[in-house]
A and B are shown apart, each in its own frame.
Chain A
C-alpha cells in the first residue's frame, strides 16, 4: 500500500475495485466504517455482489477482464468534466512534458503503440520518450494545451473509452458507471482524498500490471497520491507476502527490489553500477552501488572486498524468464530435477493444476518444509495417482508454525511487527531457520575441501547466526551493521564495528557497511516507543498518535525509515502548505527550514519547496514526477485488451489480446493440455475468489475443524438465470469444464451474480472459491484444474480471474 490500514479512516471516498476487503481483510472494515461515519462513501465495482459490495453505498457490476475499460472511461469522464486536480497534475506529474513526435498510440495504430515487432512480440520503446533540450531536460508546456504534451495524448487515448463502450464491452449500465465516476472524481478537489483498494481482481489478468498502472494514473489525475485517505492500496494476500517480496524470494529481484544481475546487461559489478545508476535518473536509486555492496558484504562477509568486486561473481546471472509458469513448464520438460519448497502448496494454487501435478511427478526429488500433509507434500499418492509409477524421492520436513518461532512479518501497509516465540512446536518440528542452518552446514561438509570455483560461493558464505540459529541475529544482518570502525575526516566516529545501522542513509559502497535488505535498515535498531521504553524498532507497541492522523509512528517499524504515506510531499501544495487543514500531514516550516508534521517526509527533509525539484514528490522515479505516461511492456498508457479466453471480440481495437504475452503452444489438442479454449466450446466466463472462512490453498484452513464446519465444500456460484437455463437447482452437483480439465462441485444458485449484456448478447458469469483440495478435513475439487497458465505481460501472474468454462448437471 502507498498508505495504510488505519489511514483508511481519513478517506473521503473508498473505491474498492478488484478486491473484497470485508471478506478477505476483515479488520479493515472497521477503518472503512470510520471513514463512512465521517461522510465518506464506499464505492464497489465487482463482477458479483461480494460481501464488500453488499455493504456499498454505490455498486457497479463489470464483466471480469474489462478493468482498463472501466477505469479508462473514468479518466475520460474526469478530463471531460474537469474533475482533475489541475495544479497537482501540472506540477507533480509528467503531464506537461512533450512527447517525441514519432510516438503513436492505439488511437492512431488500431490497438498498437509505435515500435511493435510482431516477430518478437515485443516493443522497441525508442519513440516512447520526451522531447528534450540541449541539456537533456524534457521540454514542457505547463498550460497542458500543446498537442504533443502527455496530458493531451492521455486525453486523446482515453477519448475512445466512452460510456457506450463501458456498457457494450464491460457490461456496466451507463447510470451505474456514472454514479461511480461522479462520486470518486469528487476527490479531485484539492484537499479531498479518495483511496483505491485493490487485490487480485486487478492483478490476476494478462493485463494485470496495466490494470494497476491504470489505478495509479487515475489517482495522479485526481491528486490522491501522497494524501492521507488517498493512495493506491494493494490489499496483499498472506501475512508476510510483503516481507517475502521485500526479501526477494523471486527470480527477478534481490532483496529490496534491486534487479537480479543479468548476464546480458550486468555481467560485471561495474556494469551493474553503470546500468542501474543511469536508469535511476534523479531518483534515490542512484544509491544502488551502496545497496549492492552492502548486500554482498552481508552475504560474503570478509571474503568480499574491493579487489574481488565484493564477489559479485558468486551471484548467479540470469538471462531467461524463471517465473512460476515457466518453472512448471521446465519441471514438466524434465530440466528441473529437484524442488526445495517451504510453506507453499502449488498442487492446489498453481494455474492448470493437472500440468502442475504432472510436472511434480517427474521430479527426481522434493524437499518440503511444511506444517501439514498437503496436496503438494503427498502429490505422489493423490487420488488417481499410482505411486508405484512415481519416481520422486520426497523429504517432508516438519516445520514450526508462526507462533512456534520468533521472527518478523510485514503488513500490507509496510509495517514490520516482531513476533516472539509463544508456543512449542509438535514432536520433531523445527523452525525454518534451523532447517536452513542444518542443510547449509551439511552442504558445507559435502563440499569441504573443494577448490572448484563454482563451489566457493557456498563455502565462503557468511553464516553466523549461532547454534541453534537465532532469528534476532538473522534480523540484525538484514537490518545492517558496520563492518569496521569508521571515522570521518574530522575524527567523528560514524560507526563502530558490529554496531547496527540507524538507517539506509548510512550505507556505503566501500565495504564498511553490510546490509541484507536496505529498506529494512533500522528495523532492529533500538528506538523509543514514545513512552520512554527503548527496544528494537520492530518490537515496539507504542500507541501514541501525534496529530491523530492514524500514523502511530511508535508501533513497529514502517519501511522506508518510518514513512507511512508514500510520496507525502504531494499532500502539500507548491508552497509546502497542506492542500487542506483536514488532511494536514507534513508541511514546510520556513523558520526551521525543514519539513515537519505527523509523518516522516518522503522527501529531502530540508529541501525547500522553492529549491530545484522542490516540487517533485516522486523521488523513486527517474524524473521525480508522477508518471501519467510510463512504460510497461505493452505500452506507456494502459489499453484494453480482452482476456486470453474471452466470450467476445475486442471492440476498442482489432488487437484481441495483450500482444506481448506468451501463450504456450504445447500439448494443444491433447486431453491434459494447456491449450486455450474458444467461446464456442466454453461460452461462460468464470472467475475465482476467496472466502473469509477458508485460506489460500487450504493448508492452514481445511485441516481446522471450525473452519471446515463453516465452509465444508467446494461450490459454484451461478446466477438464477443461468441455473434456470441449465435446469440446475440450488444444492445439485454440477460439472464445470474448461480447455484444461473438468471438476465437480455443488451448485450455489444466487442473486449475487447477474448475467451481462455484452455487445447485444447475454454473457453469463460463474464464480468459485479456489481453496479446496483432496487433503484435510474439508475437501473438494481443485479450482485450478480449470484455470489457464497464461500470465501477465510484465509479471507473468496467471489470469485466474477471467477464463471460459461450460457447466452441466452431474448425472
Chain B
C-alpha cells in the first residue's frame, strides 16, 4: 500500500513526534516493521551551502559513510524541500577526490608526497615560528607597542563552523597576525 515519505518515517519511529497511521490502518494494529537490508539510521543536520540554513536528513551506514541525503520535513524554513546542491551533498562527503592524507609538496617539486599528522604539525610549527620571528614588529616608528607579525596571512572560511572560525581568529591574533581575511570581504 502506498505510503507517503513522512508516514514511512514516522512508522519506523525515526523521527520525533507521534505515530501517523494511514487512513485504513486500524488504530489498534501494531506498527508494521519493514525488513530493512541495512540499519541506516537517520540523523538531522543543516545544509552547508547557502545562508538559508535548510534542514537535512542524513542516512549513514554503520561506519558513518553517507548513503543518502534528503530534506527534513520538520525543519521550519525548508519543510523538506531541497535545491540541487543540498540534494547532491552526499557526493561531497563521498567524493573519491576528498583529501584523506596529509600531503606535502617540497620546494620546486612536481608531485605531492603523503605524510603523517605528527610530522606535518611539527614542520608547520617550525615554519610559522621562523617566519614569525623574522617578520615580527614589536613597536612602530613612533614607539607604540604594536606586536604585529607582518609576514604571515590567515584566510578562511565562510563554510566553517563558528567554533572553527573563533579558534582561527583567536590563534591568529595571539600570534600577532594582522593579515586576517576570508570570503566575507569579497
Contact = CB atoms under 8 A, between A and B. Distances in A.
Given A344-B182, A387-B108, A403-B58, A426 B97 contact: no
A142 interface: no
Interface in A399-442: 399, 401-405, 407-412, 415-417, 419-420, 422-424, 426-433, 436-442
Interface in A276-322: 298-299, 313-320, 322
B14 interface: no
Contacts of B150: 335-336
The 6 lowest CB-CB distance pairs between A and B, nearest first, are: A427-B100, A343-B157, A407-B161, A424-B64, A342-B156, A442-B125
Given A263-B144, A344-B182, A373-B97, A454 B176 contact: yes
B88 A248 contact: no
Nearest to B170: A299
Nearest to B83: A26
Interface stretch (A620-628, A697-705, A749-757): A697-705
Contacts of A324: 181, 185-186
Given A317-B146, A338-B127, A351 B186 contact: yes
A393 interface: yes
A253 B100 CA distance: 34
Given A251-B180, A322-B181, A411-B77, 16 more contacts: A30-B81, A239-B47, A250-B185, A251-B179, A317-B145, A322-B180, A324-B186, A387-B109, A394-B103, A407-B164, A415-B53, A422-B44, A439-B121, A555-B76, A693-B84, A704-B91
B181 A251 contact: yes
30 contacts: A241-B184, A249-B184, A251-B179, A254-B173, A263-B146, A315-B173, A318-B148, A337-B134, A339-B152, A339-B153, A343-B160, A344-B157, A381-B110, A396-B103, A402-B48, A405-B161, A408-B163, A417-B53, A419-B45, A432-B167, A443-B129, A454-B176, A458-B175, A475-B163, A478-B166, A543-B76, A555-B76, A692-B84, A695-B49, A707-B84
A664 interface: no
B60 A423 contact: yes
A237 B51 contact: yes
A236 to B, nearest CB: 4
Interface string A743-769: 000000000000000000000000000
Nearest to A241: B158
A427 B76 contact: no
Interface in B72-113: 74-79, 81, 83-85, 87-89, 91-93, 95, 97-110, 112
Contacts of A235: 51
A442 B120 CA distance: 10
A319 to B, nearest CB: 7
Interface in B113-154: 116-117, 120-129, 131, 134-136, 138, 140, 142, 144-154
Contacts of B161: 240, 243, 402, 405, 407-409, 419, 432, 471
Nearest to A369: B156
A136 interface: no
B131 A403 contact: no
A243 B129 contact: no
Contact of B95 (A237, A339, A409, A703): A703
Nearest to B116: A428
Contact of B98 (A250, A412, A429, A454): A429
B46 A707 contact: no
A331 B153 contact: yes
Contacts of A636: none
Interface stretch (A485-493, A603-611, A720-728, A790-798): A790-798
A447 interface: yes
A398 interface: yes
Contacts of B74: 541, 543
Nearest to B100: A427
Contact of A342 (B142, B147, B155): B155
Interface string A1-38: 00001100000000000000000111110100000000
A451 to B, nearest CB: 14
A798 B50 CA distance: 21
A245 interface: yes
A776 B95 CA distance: 10
Contacts of A298: 170
A143 interface: no
A433 B169 CA distance: 12
A350 B153 CA distance: 15
Given A323-B181, A335-B151, A433 B164 contact: yes
Nearest to B54: A27
B43 interface: yes
B21 interface: no
Interface in A197-245: 204, 235-245
A257 interface: no
- Name, among A240, A246, A370, A458, the residue most crowded by chain B CB atoms within 10 Å (CB to CB): A240
B167 A474 contact: yes
A239 B181 contact: no
B105 A393 contact: yes
A443 B149 CA distance: 15
B66 interface: yes
Nearest to B135: A337
B19 interface: no
A250 B181 contact: yes
A474 B166 contact: yes
Contacts of B121: 438-439, 441-442
Given A28-B52, A342-B155, A398-B100, A408 B181 contact: no
A26 B58 CA distance: 20
A269 to B, nearest CB: 12
Nearest to B59: A422
Contacts of A436: 164, 167-168, 171
A511 interface: no
Contacts of B129: 443, 446-447
B52 A339 contact: no
Nearest to B143: A267
Given A433-B164, A442-B122, A543-B74, A27 B52 contact: yes
Given A27-B83, A340-B152, A428-B117, A263 B183 contact: no
Contacts of A382: none
B77 to A, nearest CB: 5
A339 B97 contact: no
B131 A364 contact: yes
Contacts of B43: 420, 422
A640 B17 CA distance: 55
B178 interface: yes
- Name, among B81, B102, B162, the residue most crowded by chain A CB atoms within 10 Å (CB to CB): B162
B128 A338 contact: yes
Contacts of B99: 370-373, 377, 396-399, 426-427, 429
Nearest to A392: B107
Contact of B155 (A5, A319, A344, A446): A344
A163 to B, nearest CB: 35
A353 interface: no
A324 B179 CA distance: 8
A710 interface: yes
B174 interface: yes
